[in-house]
Amino acid sequence: MSDAALRLDGITKTYGDVARPVEVLRGVSLAIQPGEIVALVAPSGAGKSTLLHIAGLLDTADAGGLEIGGRDMTGLSDRKRTVVRRQEVGFIYQFHHLLPEFSAAENIILPQLANGVARAEAEARAEALLAEVGLQDRGDHRPAALSGGEQQRAAFCRALANEPRLLLADEPTGNLDPETSDRVFAALMSLVRGTGLAALIATHNLELASRMDRRLRLEGGQVVPA
């Protein structure tokens, strides 16, 4: 069997101080295989952002094991964590976080340049990704000139720009109206399916969760099948 794209083993995380600890993750274990799209369903405040940030190397756990693509991430230097994050992980947030002063295409090109991709290649990839989500004519527009759904589709392209092994999404359609959310989610699923990468997608929307391969619930600081 191939290595899991993501493996968490007994991850714990507590915020606050000794007098008033907030135990958010109490031993989270999960594995996601390449090509799998997994929903993470959790009530507000259950710790889903904390879990995604740890999985994506944006935060560190207090204890537990973390592997990305079969490689142990515990004990890596900050510099190495940054390199792995840039090369292997794509992030999508509830709000797009596109850079406002750059066009949609530039937002997809820049992370590639930061990763050492040649400009012409980065431009071609941005164009291809934008076309896949129906934004082939909007690459020159800045985020402010795009609708909410278009901004989010551009953000999907940016997350996939460096061909990550793992996609982590935190309520990717959470700020869109139901109809737009539905269309934008379909674009995301088709993009992800086209690449065969592994995805962990947090959502409150049970209908969207039902369209993924598998569902996990984060409850009481632990992850269980939903």
How distant, in Å, are the alpha carbons of 14, 16, 26, 44, 138 from that of 20? 10, 6, 16, 20, 49
Please, what is the end-to-end C-alpha distance for the chain in angstroms?
25
160's tokens: 């996939």
Listed in sequence order, the residues at least 6 apart from 60 whose beta carbon sits closer than 8 Å to its beta carbon are 54
Report, in angstroms and rounded to the nearest whole number, the Rg of the chain calculated over CA atoms.
Answer: 17
Q: Quote the least distance from Cβ 101 to ligand ATP, whole Å.
A: 28
- Under DSSP, the state recorded for 124 is H
Q: Quote the least distance from Cβ 25 to ligand ATP, whole Å.
A: 9
Contact 8, 64 (CB under 8 A): yes
* 78-82 contacts, C-beta under 8 A, 24 or more apart: 81/57, 82/57
Count, residues near ligand ATP per rule CB under 6 A: 12
Name which position in 6, 8, 46, 55 contacts ligand ATP (CB under 6 A).
Answer: 46
Please say which residue, 162 or 173, places its beta carbon nearer to ligand ATP.
173
- 125 is a site residue for ligand ATP (CB under 6 A): no
Contact 88, 161 (CB under 8 A): no
Q: Quote the least distance from Cβ 201 to ligand ATP, whole Å.
A: 13
Q: Quote the least distance from Cβ 150 to ligand ATP, whole Å.
A: 24
- 118 is a site residue for ligand ATP (CB under 6 A): no
- 196 is a site residue for ligand ATP (CB under 6 A): no
Q: 3-class SS at 146?
A: coil
Q: Quote the least distance from Cβ 216 to ligand ATP, whole Å.
A: 13
- 48 is a site residue for ligand ATP (CB under 6 A): yes
Site string for ligand ATP, 175-194 (x = CB under 6 A): --------------------
Name which position in 11, 24, 37, 129 contacts ligand ATP (CB under 6 A).
Answer: 24
Name which position in 7, 36, 50, 200 contacts ligand ATP (CB under 6 A).
Answer: 50
| Sole window of 41-49, 58-66, 142-150, 192-200 interacting with ligand ATP (rule: CB under 6 A) | 41-49
**Alpha carbon 76 to its chain's center:** 21
Q: Which residues bind ligand ATP (CB under 6 A)?
A: 15-16, 22, 24, 42, 44-50
